[in-house]
Amino acid sequence: RTMAEDTSHSEDDVQETKKSCWDCLPCYRPYAGDTTKLREIVVNAPYSQDPELLSRHQFMDNYVATTRYRWWNFIFKNLYEQFQKAANFYFLIMAIITSIPGVSTIPVYATVTPLAFVLAVTAIKDGIDDYKRYKNDRELNNRTVEVLVPGGDTQVLKWDQLQVGHVVKVKQDTNFPADLILLSSSEENGECGIQTANLDGETNLKIRQALKETVSLSPEHIAKVGSMTVKCERPHPQLYGFEGQLFMDDAHYALNPSHMLLRGAMLKETKFVYALVIYTGNQTKVMLNNDPPRFKQSHMDKVMNKQLYLIFILQFCIVFTCTVLSGWFYVNRAGKHWYFRIEDTSVAAGTQDAVTNFFAFYVLLSVMVPISLIVSMELVRLGQAVLINVDNRMYDSEDGKLAAARSTTLSEELGQIQYIFSDKTGTLTSNQMAFEKCSISGVMYGGTEKDTIGVNDSKRNKSGGDGSFDLKSQHKDGLLTEADRSHERRATRIPDMSTIDVDGDPRFCNMSDPALLFKLLEGDEAARSYVLALALCHTVSAVTDITRPGKVIYQGESTDEIALVTMASFHGVRFVSRERDVVTLVLPWVTQEGQQQHNDSKGAAASGGPGHRRSNTMGSRVQFKILQIMAFSSDRKRMAVIVQYPDGSIRVLIKGADDVMERRASKDPQVNSPDMWKTTHSHLFQFSREGLRVMLVGERVLDAKSYQEWSKRYAEASESFADKGDSRQEKMDRIAGEIEKDFKVLGVTAIEDKLQDGVPLTLKLLKKAGIKIWVLTGDKQNTAVNIGKSCGLIGWDYQLEYLRATTPEDVMKELKTIKQHLELSDKQGAALMVTGASLEVGLEDKTQELLFEVMNHPIVRVVVASRMSPKQKARVVTLVKTKLHVVTLAVGDGANDVSMIRAAHVGVGIRGKEGMQAANSSDYAISKFRFLTQLLLVHGTLSYNRNAILILYFFYKNIMMAVQQIYFVFVCGYSSEEVFDGYMLNTFNLCWTALPILLFSVFDRPANVDELLEFPQLYLSGLHGDLFNFRTFWISFFEAVVHGSVVWLMTWYTAHDMFDSYWVSSVATYTVVVLVANTKMAMITTTWFWFNALIIILTVLVYFGFIYLYCGPIGFSFSPWLFGVIQQVMARPMFYLVALWLCISVFLQDYLVYYVQRIFNPTLLMLVQECRNDTSKKQDLIYALNNKSARRKSTTTYTKAPNGRNNPGNTGMMGAKYPQHEAKLKMLAT
Which residues belong to the active site? 423
- For 745, other C-beta atoms within 10 Å of its C-beta total 26
Helix (H, G, I), strand (E, B), or coil: what is residue 1195?
A: coil
Residue 744 backbone phi and psi in degrees, to 5: -90, 130
Distance CA(947)–CA(379), nearest Å, equals 11
Q: Which helix (H) or strand (E) holds 87?
A: helix 86-99
Among 701, 682, 686, 773, residue whose Cα is nearest residue 744: 701
Burial 1047-1068 (b: 16+ CB within 10 A, else e): bbebbbebbbebbebbbbbbbb
Position 420, amino acid:
I
3-state helix/strand/coil string of 302-349: HHHHHHHHHHHHHHHHHHHHHHHHHHHHHHHCHHHCHHHCCCCCCHHH
Distance CA(877)–CA(903), nearest Å, equals 6
Helix (H, G, I), strand (E, B), or coil: what is residue 1217?
A: coil
Distance CA(516)–CA(548), nearest Å, equals 26
CB of 586 closer than 8 Å to CB of 592: no
Position 711, amino acid:
S
In terms of C-beta density within 10 A (0-12 exposed, 13-18 middle, 19 or more buried), how is residue 1181 classed? buried
CB of 1046 closer than 8 Å to CB of 1138: no
CB of 619 closer than 8 Å to CB of 597: yes
Position 425, amino acid:
T
3-state helix/strand/coil string of 664-721: HECCCCCCCCHHHHHHHHHHHHHHHHCCEEEEEEEEEEECHHHHHHHHHHHHHHHHCC
Helix intervals (H) in 1085-1210:
1090-1110, 1113-1116, 1125-1130, 1133-1160, 1164-1170, 1175-1186, 1189-1192
Distance CA(680)–CA(443), nearest Å, equals 8
Residue 562 backbone phi and psi in degrees, to 5: -60, -40
CA 182, 186, 191, 197 torsion-angle sign? negative
Helix intervals (H) in 690-807:
704-719, 728-739, 759-768, 781-790
Helix intervals (H) in 507-546:
514-522, 525-536
Among 1024, 1025, 1045, 1027, residue whose Cα is nearest residue 1035: 1027
CB of 903 closer than 8 Å to CB of 273: no
Largest CA distance in the chain: 130
- Write down how long the chain is: 1230
Distance CA(429)–CA(438), nearest Å, equals 21
Distance CA(828)–CA(795), nearest Å, equals 10
DSSP assignment of 901-934 equals HHHSSEEEEE-BTTBSHHHHTSSEEESSTTHHII
Distance CA(843)–CA(776), nearest Å, equals 15
Q: What is the bridge-based pairing of β-strands 772-776 and 744-755?
A: unpaired
